[in-house]
Amino acid sequence: MMEPLTSETWADALDLYESSYTFVSVAPRVHGEWWLDFASIVRLEARDPRGWRSIDPDDEEFDLRVDPIYPWLEPPATVEEAERFHGRVKQLPRASVRSLLVLLGILGMDVAKAPNWERRRPGMEHRADVIMSRFPGDTCFYANLGWKGDHPDFYEQPVTGMDPFSQFGWDAGLIAVNDAEVAVFWAFEPI
């Protein structure tokens, strides 16, 4: 049985990303076009409506003083600009979200290369389940990755391409969208 979702269980769940260069933030959904809420998140203009933990691995970086949206590429500022973002992600079925949340916490996003994978897997999956418990059944999930099949298991298949959202050569992410909140889970691998 999973413990109730609280600020403490949420904060513990985000420890899933302690070993990776991962950005995590949730914000209230205030726009009909959710890409504008995504933009508010990556510009650091919106904060978690519950006041819960977020992760910004660059929060003290010099690059932020030079480029306030570092490491992100420019997100959309208008509904018209948001149109060009729709094709950059694909909707991911809820049944596949857990394995992607876990994979975002593994350097290189390859469970075969993850040290002590079988020993760490149950704890990582538990944390991913806690994260998912925040998002009700009507939440839509989107990823900038390619995959095979209708219900990919990211442990069993490699990522088959990606559309970068950052200044780095490689990044992978998940966006959760419902009527109340938008969340961004994004791993970066500077090359």
- The pLDDT score that the predictor gives to residue 62 is 54
Of the candidates 28, 61, 145, the one whose C-alpha atom is nearest the C-alpha of residue 69 is 61
| Longest Cα–Cα distance in the chain | 47
Task: Tell whether 1 is covered by a domain.
Answer: no
**2 within some domain:** no
Residue 55 lies in a domain: yes
Instruction: Please say if the pLDDT value at position 136 is more than 90.
Output: yes
Spatial separation of the C-alpha atoms in residues 123 and 177, rounded to whole Å:
25
Quote the pLDDT of residue 1.
67
Residue 59 lies in a domain: yes
Contact 17, 24 (CB under 8 A): yes
Domain of residue 102: give its range.
Answer: 7-188
What pTM did the predictor assign?
A: 0.95
Task: Say whether 175 sits in a helix, a strand or coil.
Answer: strand
Rg of the chain in Å (alpha carbons): 16
Mean pLDDT for 89-97 is: 97
Q: Does any domain span residue 94?
A: yes
* Mean pLDDT, the chain, integer: 92
Predicted confidence (pLDDT) at residue 149 exceeds the cutoff of 80 = yes
Question: Is the predicted pLDDT of residue 68 greater than 80, yes or no?
Answer: no
Query: Within a domain: residue 117?
Result: yes
What is d(CA 62, CA 60) in angstroms, rounded to the nearest whole number?
7
Into how many domains does the chain fold?
A: 1
Note whether residue 122 is domain-resident: yes
Q: Would you say residue 158 has pLDDT above 80? A: no
Query: Is residue 85 included in any domain, yes or no?
Result: yes
